[in-house]
Amino acid sequence: MPTSIYEVLELMRKYGRIEKIHKDTYIVEVKADKVKDICSILHWKLGGHFSVTVGSDERLINGYFAIYHVFLLDEQKISIIVHTKANPAVPKIPSITPIIPGANWHEREAHDFFGIVFENHPNLERLILPYDWPEKVYPLRKDVSIEELRFKILKPETVKAKAKPEEEYIVPIGPYHPALHEPEYFELYVEGERIVDAKYKGFHVHRGIEKVAEERLTINQIPFIAERICGICGYTHNVAYCQAVEYAANIDVPLRAKYIRSILLEIERIHSHLLWFGVLFHLLGFDTGFMMTWLVREKIMDLAEILTGNRKNYGMNLVGGVRRDINEGKIKLSLETLDHVEYKLRNILSKMLKLKEIMSRTKEIGLLSREEARKLSVVGPVARASGISTDVRKYHPYAAYGELEFKVPVYDAGDVYSRVLVRYDEIFESISMLKQLLKNIPKGDLMAENVEVPEYRKGLGLTEAPRGENIHLVITGRENKVYRWRPRAPSYNNVPSTLVMLKGENLADAPAIIASIDPCFSCTDHVVVVDVKRGTRRTLRLKEISRGRAR
Cα–Cα dist 516/276, whole Å:
9
What is the smallest separation between the CB atom of 519 and another protein, expressed in angstroms?
14
For another protein, the closer of residues 61 and 196 by Cβ is 196
Distance of CA 336 to the CA centre of its chain: 32
What is the smallest separation between the CB atom of 344 and another protein, expressed in angstroms?
11
What is the smallest separation between the CB atom of 547 and another protein, expressed in angstroms?
7
DSSP string, 396-429: S--TTGGG--------SS-SHHHHHHHHHHHHHH
For another protein, the closer of residues 287 and 305 by Cβ is 287
Structural element, H or E, at residue 172: strand 169-173
For another protein, the closer of residues 358 and 462 by Cβ is 358
8 Å CB contact between 381 and 467: yes
Residue 87: half-sphere exposure toward Cβ, Cα within 13 Å: 6
Cα–Cα dist 537/545, whole Å:
15
First to last CA, the chain: 55
Amino acid at 351: K
What is the smallest separation between the CB atom of 539 and another protein, expressed in angstroms?
16
For another protein, the closer of residues 91 and 289 by Cβ is 289
What is the smallest separation between the CB atom of 356 and another protein, expressed in angstroms?
9
What is the smallest separation between the CB atom of 357 and another protein, expressed in angstroms?
4
For another protein, the closer of residues 183 and 511 by Cβ is 511
For another protein, the closer of residues 108 and 361 by Cβ is 361
What is the smallest separation between the CB atom of 369 and another protein, expressed in angstroms?
23
What is the smallest separation between the CB atom of 426 and another protein, expressed in angstroms?
22
Closest CA to 67 of 41, 34, 99: 34
For another protein, the closer of residues 254 and 289 by Cβ is 289
Q: Residue 92: beta bridge partners?
A: 117
Inter-CA distances, 471 with 133, 241, 298, 397, Å: 28, 8, 29, 13
What is the smallest separation between the CB atom of 336 and another protein, expressed in angstroms?
21
For another protein, the closer of residues 119 and 193 by Cβ is 193
Distance of CA 20 to the CA centre of its chain: 25
Chain positions contacting another protein, by CB under 8 A? 169-172, 177-179, 190, 192-193, 281-289, 291-292, 295, 355, 357-358, 360-361, 506-511, 547-551
The pairing of strands 49-58 and 194-201 is unpaired
Cα–Cα dist 416/277, whole Å:
12
What is the smallest separation between the CB atom of 191 and another protein, expressed in angstroms?
11
For another protein, the closer of residues 14 and 181 by Cβ is 181
What is the smallest separation between the CB atom of 287 and another protein, expressed in angstroms?
6
Phi and psi torsions of 54, nearest 5°:
-120, 125
For another protein, the closer of residues 18 and 507 by Cβ is 507
Q: Residue 447: beta bridge partners?
A: 321
DSSP string, 208-261: -HHHHHHHH--TTTHHHHHHTT-SSSHHHHHHHHHHHHHHHHT----HHHHHHH
8 Å CB contact between 177 and 192: no
For another protein, the closer of residues 37 and 197 by Cβ is 197
What is the smallest separation between the CB atom of 276 and another protein, expressed in angstroms?
14
The conformational region for residue 189 under phi > 0 = left, psi -120 to 50 = alpha, else beta, is beta
Cα–Cα dist 207/529, whole Å:
9
Cα–Cα dist 82/545, whole Å:
42
For another protein, the closer of residues 189 and 411 by Cβ is 189
Phi and psi torsions of 469, nearest 5°:
-75, 140
